[in-house]
Copies of this chain bind each other. A is one copy, B any other.
Amino acid sequence: MKIGKIFKHLRKSKHITLQEAGQGIVSTPFLSRFENGLTDISFTHLLELLNRINVQLSEFEFLYQRQNTDNNDQLPNFQRAYQAGDVKKLQEYLLVWQKRKGKFAQLQAIQLKMMLVTLGKGKVSKRELSVLTAYFQSINNWTFFELYLFGHAILFLKVPVMLNLFKELQKKELIYEDFRNDNFSMLFYIYNNVILRMLDERFLDTAETLVTKLEKYFKDQDKDYYHRTRLFNLKGLTLYLKGQKKIGLSLIKKANLITYLTDHEESFLWNERAYLKKYLTPKELDTVFDFSDSGY
Interface size for chain A: under 10, 10 to 19, 20 to 34, or 35 or more residues?
Answer: 35 or more
In chain A, positions 241-275 with a C-beta closer than 8 Å to chain B are: 250, 254, 257-258, 261-265, 268
**B3, B44, B72, B138: the one within 8 Å of A51 (CB):** B72
The winner among A15, A55, A225 for most chain B CB atoms within 10 A is A225
In chain A, positions 176-224 with a C-beta closer than 8 Å to chain B are: 179-183, 222-224
A140 in the interface, Cβ–Cβ < 8 Å?
yes
The winner among A10, A14, A62, A182 for most chain B CB atoms within 10 A is A14
- B14 and A59 form a contact (CB under 8 A): no
Min Cβ gap A222→B in Å is 5
- A254 and B261 form a contact (CB under 8 A): yes
Q: How many copies does the complex hold?
A: 2
A67 in the interface, Cβ–Cβ < 8 Å?
no
Q: How far is the CA of A226 from the CA of B218 in the complex (A)?
A: 14
- A13 and B223 form a contact (CB under 8 A): no
- B9 and A179 form a contact (CB under 8 A): no
Q: Chain B residues with Cβ under 8 A from A257's Cβ?
A: 261, 294
A295 in the interface, Cβ–Cβ < 8 Å?
yes
- A14-B141, A42-B43 given as contacts; is B62 within 8 A of A57 (CB)? no
Q: How far is the CA of A104 from the CA of B23 in the complex (A)?
A: 14
Q: How far is the CA of A59 from the CA of B295 in the complex (A)?
A: 45
Q: How far is the CA of A73 from the CA of B52 in the complex (A)?
A: 11
Q: Chain B residues with Cβ under 8 A from A181's Cβ?
A: 180-181
